Every structure is written in structure tokens, then in C-alpha cells.
Structure 1
Amino acid sequence: MASVDYQKLEDGESGGAIAAPPFALAKLDNDKEGLLKGLTDVEVAELVKKYGLNEVPEEKEPLWKMFLKQFTGPMQIMIECAALLCFLIHNWPDFTIIMVLLLTNGTLGFFEEKSAQASVDALKAGLEKKMPVKRNGKFDSIPVVQVVPGDILFMRGGDIVPADCYWLEGDPCQVDEAALTGESLPVKVPRKDDHGKQFSGRQMWSGSILKVGECQAVVSHTGVNTMIGEAAKAIQDASGKDDGFVR
């Protein structure tokens, strides 16, 4: 699954493909109280215009088109030409073998691509809920699709982290990142920063699960700019590529 070094992006060390959060990371130390005040409705409206909703846009392809696409790659066209030649010269054994292989490969490719689409849907499913978010100085239950960078979240054990964020205050938490990083054991947040990556010990990634503890966290990235957004885009890109006859 794709991963992104957001620390470098936020420090301006990359090409800037991912938008920076609307606050300086230094505020995690020197203006925590300011961050904990949350956002106003006016600020939220401006941030929605800038960053969009907390969702991964997608264009769903019709199943019939997805199936037909399995037979349009360069390798498939060559094999189809061979099948046509066998048909014209009445070489039925070779024609049958080629058609069986072509249809088998196309069917397998179709189900593989359909499974990839299901993976994208599964990634998004974790975001379809509400969560306490501080707006106008108080916590309200807000659909997580409306969460924007700079929002203050209140999370407790069992919650799915709805956006990339930084722990601000609360209990020492245990966060399950297995679905994103493959790490089998929960990680402690906050913890000692990784070498050269300031505040990395406070990061919590969208799609991870808060197993133990409760805390307040400030959102840094939402939607396609999160790690889970990058992963979903990678899956969609991979499913859209034709890699020839062998799968």
C-alpha cells in the first residue's frame, strides 16, 4: 500500500503535490491551546473550498465496460488476430484453445479489477460515520466527510481515525495501523519522534483504528491528501492499467 512522508511535504521539501495543513506544525508545541479552540463555521467554509470534502472521489466504471476492456490491450489484440486467422483457415483445435485462454484471462482480469474496486469501497467505508468535532467552541457530532484540516477531533477506543491528524492531548493511545503499514502490533501515540521527523510521534493516519485511550487531535490532511487517499488512488490507478495477457 502506498505511503507518503507528510513531514517532508509539510516542511516544503517535496514538489508540493499535497497541500500543506492550514497551521504551522510548530503550533503543536507553542500554541496548542490556540489549536484546541477549533474552527468557526466561516473558517470551515473557506477550508472546504480550499481542500474539498474528506472523501476520495472516484469514477465507477460500468461492469460491461470493465469486462470488455479486458480484451483491448496490445497483447489481447494480437491473440485475437491469431484466433481470427485460425478461424479463417478452419484450424478449429487451435482456435478453440486460443479462445478458451483469451476468455479465461479476460474473466480473471475482470474479477481482479472488480476486487480492486471493492477494496477502494472498503477503504472509504470507514469514513462513513459521525464523530465529535469542535466547531464554534463546542463539540458537535459531525459527518466525517465534512471534516477539514484544522478541525479538532475527539476520539476514543474503537474509533476509526477519519483523517490524518496529530495527537494534541488526552490519554496515551494505542493505534492499530495494520491495514495501512502492515505493522501487526498497535503503535503508541504519542511516542518518541522518528529521527529527523519532528512531531512524527504524534501522527495518526486516516483509516487506522484507535484501540486504547481517548484523545483530542488536530486534522492535518483530508480526502485524497491522506495516506488512505493515496492508497485508494494507487489501487484505482493499478486497476486501470492493462498489464498484458499474464495476470
Structure 2
Amino acid sequence: MPHQQQNVRSTVEGDATKIDLWTSTDMSRFDQDVHVIPIDSVMRRFRSNHETGLSSAFVSEAQTCYGSNQITPAPSPNYFRLLFKQLFMGFNSILLVGGILALIAYQPLGGSESSITNLGLGIVLLSVPVFNAFLNVYQKLKSIKIIAAFAKLLPKSVPTRRDGVEQHIPTIELVPGDIILIKMGDIVPADCRVLTCEGLKLNSAELTGETKPVSITVECTSENLMETTNLGFYSSLVEEGMGEAVVVATGNSTILGKMSRTTQESSNERTTNLHREVNRFVLFVLVADITSIIILWITWGGWLNNSHPTFITLIGNILNSIGMIVSFLPVGLPSAITLALAIVTKRMSQQRILGKSLQIVESFNSVSIIATDKTGTLTKNKMVVSEIFWDTDNGCKVFDDG
């Protein structure tokens, strides 16, 4: 599918020359060769200059085309819709029907003969799906808050050269072509091509999972975009040295931004094996329930109510229908499944493993071997001393103040 493109013409104040600012929605043109072509070609492509940087007038036009330098977060889910979906999923739908019938048997059909037992039965049957739904939504909300907190790790501003003057620019206002200055302790605010460096080493563990810092060079060392050492990627940590670089991609167009977008597109929850088995069982129970209830009402309406009107009343027949629903369905199974998944998720969180939803935990039932390593993609990639041991005359002392 061809990339959408647009040509934007603007006139820079103080310069009679009109410039063509070429942009692409995903800037794929720049991704292919920005690390291979000479630095002069990179500067011409982005209408920049190593000594003076971009002009303020050009930046205004560029910000309109490229947008802000921030990765678009995943859209916040509609919690009412999510709650509604959970309420009518699997066993919950059958229990809701049973609970509603029990309340109907209590009021308005109960009248003076209404039994408090029917009310209690209705509350119990309705509380189970409501509990399951709220537990699933709570787990989803908790994981979203944790993931959103990672965005706060990026710097608020970055030293940038514009109009020939070095100034601190808000990170979200960077555009391709900006000349930025990075030093030890900084976080690279965008994908950039290195112009000069002095002992510069970058740690891209947030992106690649590799904890070993990479020595940065000005020259291209590989045609592979991810393996060359003359690029700095958004979210990388400067562990040593300093340098200057020209921004080549911002926000959603960075490597990290594209990975985030791909993750969001593929994050739609698929039906797990356990979910499929539960749905299959629910379908069987539903067919059996409906068939039995239809036979019950046909028998009652066509024969018992006419021949023996006092044998079973309308309320009694409704209660019989509820009894069939409950007898066919193991009422404790939905809560047991939800609680089991919630307990597993909590135990995982105690081991520093984030379960984004209870449905993800379901997939573990078909996993026998997990081959993985420590990536650092969801952590700061730093180690903190939590306990110190050393020998003394009286034995070993422990300090656990962190």
C-alpha cells in the first residue's frame, strides 16, 4: 500500500527563496538511507545547517507537518463498554438471565406471596457476573496505568541549536533537522544521526534489550539501520561522553514509535484456548437449558396449568426454570476461573512480571517452555543495592535500607 505523501510549500521570512518541505506519514523515505548517505546530504534533506541549526520560521512550518515529538499513547478503552462486554461473556450471560428471573419471581409477580428466598437467589446469581466483570476491568485499568507511567521517563527539554543560538527546547517541540547536544546522563529525545562525538556511548536497552553500551561513531558501520553506530535512537541513555546530532525522526516516526504502534495494532485480545473451551461448554449448556425450559413451559401451559391449576403456579414455574439454569451450570465455575487467574496474575506481579489482562494468563495453560532473557524494556535497566553483608567480629551484619 503506497505511503500517503503531501507537498507543503512555505516561504521563510527574510528569505525570498521558497522551500519544498517533503513529508511522509511514516517518513519511511528517511529510514532507508539516513545512516548511509553523507552528512551534507542529510543536512540538505532536512534543510538544516550544522553551525546554525534550523530557523524559527522553518521550525513553525515543520511542526505543522511533522507534529509533536511524542509517541501517541494507546487510546483509553471505554470502560463502560468493556464492563458491558464482560457482563455478557460466557457463563455470565446465563447467570444474569437466572438472576433476573429470580427477581421477577420476587417482584412484581410475587405479590403478597413473594419469598425473600427469591430475592436472595437473584442477588447471588447477579453478583457473580458483576464480580467477574469488575475484576477483569480492574486488572486492565491497573496495567494501563503502569504502562502510561513509562512515558514520564523522557526529558522535558533538550539543548538545541536554532538560529545559530544554543537554547533549551521542550522535547515535544523537536522536529527533523534540529541540531541537538547530548551528554552523559541524558536520554536521546528522538532518532538522530550523530554529527560529532567524544567518547560517546549509548545504551539502547529500552529499545533493544541489550544492556551493553555501544560506542558511537560518525561513520556508518553497517547498512542495517539497527546495527550501525552512527545513529542514536529515541529513549537511549547516554552513558559516557558527549556529542552533537541532527534529528531525523520524531514521535510516532521513530523506531520506538513504530514498535509502539505495531504493539497497539496487535494487542487486540485473541480468543485463548481456555476461552474457547469455556465458550464451547457455555454453548452446550445454553442449548440444553433452552431446550429443557421450552419443554417445561410447553408442558405447564398445555397440560398442568389447565388440568391441575393449583399444582404449579406461575411463580413456581419461573423458579423451576431458574432451577434448571442453576442445575445445568456449575455456578461456582466462573468465579473459580476468575479468582484463579487473578491469583496467578498477583503472584506474577510479585515476581516483577506484568500481566496486562487476565486473558493473557489463560494462554499459559498451553505453554511448556519459555525461552527469554532480561531485556530491561519495562524497567530503568539499573541495579539497586538492597542488602549489604560484611564480616564483623560478631558475625555477619545485614543492612537492608536500600
- TM-score scaled to structure 2, two decimals? 0.47
Cross-structure match for 2:68: 53
* DSSP-derived class of the 2:248 partner: strand
**Which has the larger displacement, 134-143 or 97-106?**
97-106
**Structure 1 residues 187 and 73: alpha-carbon distance in aligned structure 2, compared to 1, 3 A threshold:** farther
Cross-structure match for 1:18: 26
1:110-121 to 2 correspondence within 5 Å?
Answer: 110-121=138-149
1:93-141 CA-to-partner distances (Å, cap 9, x unmatched) read 9x95895476346424433344234413422x23451111010112111
**Structure 1 residues 87 and 61: alpha-carbon distance in aligned structure 2, compared to 1, 3 A threshold:** same
Cross-structure match for 2:204: 177
1:181 and 1:242 map into 2 onto residues whose CA distance is: 25
* DSSP-derived class of the 2:239 partner: strand
1:1-247 to 2 correspondence within 5 Å?
Answer: 18-19=26-27, 20-21=29-30, 25=34, 26-28=37-39, 35-37=49-51, 38-58=53-73, 61=76, 65-66=78-79, 68-73=80-85, 76-87=88-99, 100=128, 103-104=131-132, 106-123=134-151, 125-190=152-217, 193-197=221-225, 200-234=228-262, 236-237=264-265, 241-243=268-270, 247=359
**Structure 1 residues 58 and 178: alpha-carbon distance in aligned structure 2, compared to 1, 3 A threshold:** closer
Q: Answer yes or no: is the 8 Å Cα contact 2:183–2:243 preserved in 1.
A: yes
2:55 and 2:233 map into 1 onto residues whose CA distance is: 24
Paired residue total: 226
Q: Answer yes or no: is the 8 Å Cα contact 1:167–1:204 preserved in 2.
A: yes
* DSSP-derived class of the 2:257 partner: helix
2:87 and 2:132 map into 1 onto residues whose CA distance is: 14
* DSSP-derived class of the 2:147 partner: helix
User: Which of 1 and 2 has higher RCO (CA within 8 Å, sep 6+)?
Assistant: 1
**Structure 1 residues 109 and 74: alpha-carbon distance in aligned structure 2, compared to 1, 3 A threshold:** closer
Q: Percent identity?
A: 24
Q: Which runs of 5+ in 2 are unaligned?
A: 1-23, 103-117, 276-357, 360-402
- TM-score scaled to structure 1, two decimals? 0.73
Over the residues paired in the alignment, what is the CA RMSD in angstroms? 3.7
Q: Answer yes or no: is the 8 Å Cα contact 2:87–2:129 preserved in 1.
A: no
Cross-structure match for 1:10: none
Q: Which runs of 5+ in 1 are unaligned?
A: 1-15
* DSSP-derived class of the 1:122 partner: helix
Which letter does structure 2 place at the counterpart of 1:154? L
**Structure 1 residues 227 and 198: alpha-carbon distance in aligned structure 2, compared to 1, 3 A threshold:** closer
* DSSP-derived class of the 2:89 partner: helix
1:165 and 1:198 map into 2 onto residues whose CA distance is: 12
Q: Answer yes or no: is the 8 Å Cα contact 2:95–2:129 preserved in 1.
A: no
